[in-house]
A and B are shown apart, each in its own frame.
Chain A
Amino acid sequence: MTHTKFTRSGLVAAGTSTMLVLAACSSGATDETPSGDALSGAVVIDGSSTVAPLTEVAVELFAAVQPDVRISVGVSGTGGGFEKFCNGETDISEASRPIKDEEAQRCADAGIGFVQLGLANDGLAVVVNPENTWAQCLTVEEVSSMWRPDSPVDSWADVRDGFPDEPIALFGPGSDSGTFDFFTDEVNGDSGAIRSDYNDIGEDDSAAILGVSGATGATAFIPLSFVNEAGGQIKAIEIVNDNGDCVAPSLETVLTGEYSPLGRQLFVYPSDVALEKPQVLAFLEYYINNQAEIAELAGFIPLNEDQEAEALERLNSLIDG
């Protein structure tokens, strides 16, 4: 069942409060018609279910500009999406992690060229119970000591000297999730490497919040968008980045890249063949040019200026090449 990759970091923030500003946002976005020509034809998109809510918003806004372009968005998961993509069955693949070497190789074998476009930011937060007063800031090594395969750690006292002897309860998503892939890769050094005795909450990130709020020593990793949603039930702890600074996860710190290594970009991969179709190109240009509105509507963190410029540049490089 590799086709289900839920991390649900998606649309959380696009709840009721965002609905109020919707009219303004969408009309603002649709005014920017990229070109005068009416396009038609199909665009087939598939891949990560984390990225799908973002792309769906882009598709909806784009449909107001080019109503005759028929775009479909599937959710086969990041891996399942790349499988179809390298089979030449889709035009654009969505991914909540960069393409793996073996996936890139399969595309190369099939003669399919592609480019990676980052279109929004997202972050992973390590959360603890609000009554946990000792863990304010952890290094990646300390987080890993709790989560790595066969870890003997079962008390906070084992994580760092001076921490109280409070039993640790671990909650995290299952192996189908892109969030799981990303966390295990960044924290334990290998995608999928994790101790086997944590509480696997499957795809339901809200269950991790419930679990952590129920036990003083509990901890979990969840998409950043869920932290705000959960209110005071849990608190996100700071993570030491490469510069040795303790950084709390937030919109700003993910955007500036300070929140590292658990900040991530969400990607789409168009193929070179697909970019020869004018409707695919027009859609991607629209997606990048309106990424800020799209990310806000979908509850993600928009790209900063550098990232947006890079995405446009990469798109152009593939067209020229």
Chain B
Amino acid sequence: MATSKRTTMAVDAAKATTQKLYKSGVDIKGELFRAVLLLSIIVAVGMLGSLIAYVIWRGWDRLDWNLFVNNPSSIFLDTAGFAPAIVGTIYVMLGVLVTVVPIGVSAAIYLEEYADRTRWYNRLVEVNIQNLAAVPSIVFGILGLAFVVRGWLNLGFVAFAGSLTLAMMVLPTVIIASREAIRAVPPLIRQASYGLGATRWQTIRHNVLPAATPGIITGTILAMSRAIGETAPLLLVGATTFVLFTPESPFEGAYSAIPVQIFQWAARPQDEFRILAAAGAIVLLVLLLAMNSVAIWIRARLTKDT
């Protein structure tokens, strides 16, 4: 009822506006709005572009193969590289992926398909997830230090502890995006599935999830992109800056990560280190683009199939 009333009002308003503009001939407001939107795009893209241009300009001298294959060095500043940090970041991100996707998607399915929204505890969970998305990342670092590195899980300062900490941080993003994707699946599909005698789980498994997958992947890309650049929580859960080896495994030994390495080098007094930090930002961008390209490729394939 309410919806239909609102729709009627919106349609009326749109009609009135169009007629008015049509009469006056010149669409001043429309043009103005267009200009504002264009300006917003220019500001957003311009800032990103100038940032990328700056790091490339700053790091240009050090953009070589050494950057990817060499260990960090405090002696040979001209050939120091990010190799252990790159491997560390890949370990950490794989850990985030394998924890955040199953948990996040499951939570989204429950909230969308099973939860009774009239129950107070379901509403509490929803409010909490919305709020978690706004918690500063350093707080997740403290949480990770208290419960993952020490305390309950007691993993120690290892890469997987970093993964779990970052996973907690980006979980709300995945849940919220997955819920939107699941909600966007037309009810007709569900009803058709039920009509053919499928159970609720069969409907979700064979109809809802495949249709929602592109949206879920988009949410995952956003979450992983945020996690890969995160520094503060990793500092707390033990990502070190100077290791001359790749970690034994995600569950053992010290590890480094690219953002942490960049952060430390950017604060050193020598110009070589600052150039190195800028070059490191490019390494991080390359890794991020590679990761997202794979995800986008998977999404494109899935969208074609369905």
A residues adjacent to B (C-beta < 8 A): 1, 3, 6, 8, 10-12, 14-15, 19, 22, 26, 42, 44, 46, 49, 52-53, 56-57, 59-61, 63, 70-76, 87, 89, 203, 205-206, 226, 229, 297-298
- Contact, CB under 8 Å: A89 / B156: yes
B156 contact set on A, CB distance < 8 A: 89
Number of A-B contacts (CB under 8 A): 86
The contact sample of 23 A-B pairs, CB cut-off 8 A, is A3-B235, A3-B236, A6-B267, A8-B267, A8-B269, A42-B253, A52-B242, A53-B74, A56-B74, A57-B74, A57-B75, A59-B242, A60-B73, A61-B75, A70-B254, A72-B243, A74-B238, A74-B241, A74-B254, A75-B264, A89-B156, A205-B269, A229-B269
Tell me, in angstroms, the Cα distance from A89 to B155 when the chains sit together: 11
The answer to whether residues A297 and B75 also contact, given A59-B242, A75-B264 and a CB cut-off of 8 A, is: yes
Q: Which of chain A's residues has its CB closest to B238's CB?
A: A74
Q: In this assembly, does B78 line the interface, its C-beta being within 8 Å of a C-beta of chain A?
A: yes
Q: Which of chain B's residues has its CB closest to A16's CB?
A: B272
Tell me, in angstroms, the Cα distance from A250 to B136 when the chains sit together: 44
Expressed in whole angstroms, the minimum distance between the Cβ of A80 and any Cβ of chain B is 9
- Contact, CB under 8 Å: B244 / A63: yes
Partner of A73 from the list B77, B157, B242 (CB cut-off 8 Å) is B242
B residues adjacent to A (C-beta < 8 A): 72-78, 138, 150, 156-157, 235-236, 238, 240-245, 253-254, 256, 264, 267-270, 273
Tell me, in angstroms, the Cα distance from A49 to B263 when the chains sit together: 12
Partner of A22 from the list B76, B240, B242, B273 (CB cut-off 8 Å) is B76
Expressed in whole angstroms, the minimum distance between the Cβ of A50 and any Cβ of chain B is 11
Known: A56-B72, A73-B242. 6 other contacts (CB 8 A): A10-B269, A15-B270, A49-B264, A73-B240, A73-B241, A75-B264
B72 contact set on A, CB distance < 8 A: 56
- Contact, CB under 8 Å: B267 / A203: yes
The answer to whether residues A11 and B254 also contact, given A26-B75, A70-B245 and a CB cut-off of 8 A, is: no
Tell me, in angstroms, the Cα distance from A42 to B238 when the chains sit together: 15
Tell me, in angstroms, the Cα distance from A205 to B72 when the chains sit together: 24
Tell me, in angstroms, the Cα distance from A72 to B88 when the chains sit together: 13
The answer to whether residues A12 and B270 also contact, given A44-B254, A89-B157 and a CB cut-off of 8 A, is: yes
B264 contact set on A, CB distance < 8 A: 49, 75
B76 contact set on A, CB distance < 8 A: 22
Q: Which of chain B's residues has its CB closest to A57's CB?
A: B74
B157 contact set on A, CB distance < 8 A: 44, 89
Expressed in whole angstroms, the minimum distance between the Cβ of B47 and any Cβ of chain A is 24
Expressed in whole angstroms, the minimum distance between the Cβ of B275 and any Cβ of chain A is 13
Partner of A206 from the list B77, B256, B269 (CB cut-off 8 Å) is B269
Tell me, in angstroms, the Cα distance from A73 to B84 when the chains sit together: 13
Expressed in whole angstroms, the minimum distance between the Cβ of B9 and any Cβ of chain A is 51
The answer to whether residues A53 and B267 also contact, given A3-B235, A44-B254, A59-B242 and a CB cut-off of 8 A, is: no
The answer to whether residues A19 and B240 also contact, given A3-B235, A8-B267, A11-B270 and a CB cut-off of 8 A, is: no
- Contact, CB under 8 Å: A60 / B74: yes
Q: Which of chain B's residues has its CB closest to A11's CB?
A: B270
Tell me, in angstroms, the Cα distance from A217 to B248 when the chains sit together: 56
- Contact, CB under 8 Å: B74 / A72: no
Expressed in whole angstroms, the minimum distance between the Cβ of A271 and any Cβ of chain B is 16
Partner of B78 from the list A19, A61, A206, A298 (CB cut-off 8 Å) is A19
Interface centre among B75, B156, B235, B267 (most CB of A within 10 A): B75
A19 contact set on B, CB distance < 8 A: 77-78
The answer to whether residues A46 and B270 also contact, given A19-B78, A70-B245 and a CB cut-off of 8 A, is: no
- Contact, CB under 8 Å: B242 / A11: no
Tell me, in angstroms, the Cα distance from A75 to B240 when the chains sit together: 7
Q: Which of chain A's residues has its CB closest to B236's CB?
A: A3
- Contact, CB under 8 Å: A75 / B253: no
Tell me, in angstroms, the Cα distance from A73 to B239 when the chains sit together: 10
Tell me, in angstroms, the Cα distance from A57 to B268 when the chains sit together: 14
- Contact, CB under 8 Å: B78 / A56: no
- Contact, CB under 8 Å: B242 / A56: yes
Q: Which of chain B's residues has its CB closest to A18's CB?
A: B75
Q: Which of chain B's residues has its CB closest to A76's CB?
A: B235
Tell me, in angstroms, the Cα distance from A44 to B157 when the chains sit together: 10
B75 contact set on A, CB distance < 8 A: 14, 22, 26, 57, 60-61, 297
A44 contact set on B, CB distance < 8 A: 157, 254
Tell me, in angstroms, the Cα distance from A19 to B270 when the chains sit together: 12
- Contact, CB under 8 Å: A14 / B270: yes
Tell me, in angstroms, the Cα distance from A56 to B244 when the chains sit together: 10
Tell me, in angstroms, the Cα distance from A296 to B194 when the chains sit together: 77
- Contact, CB under 8 Å: B254 / A10: no
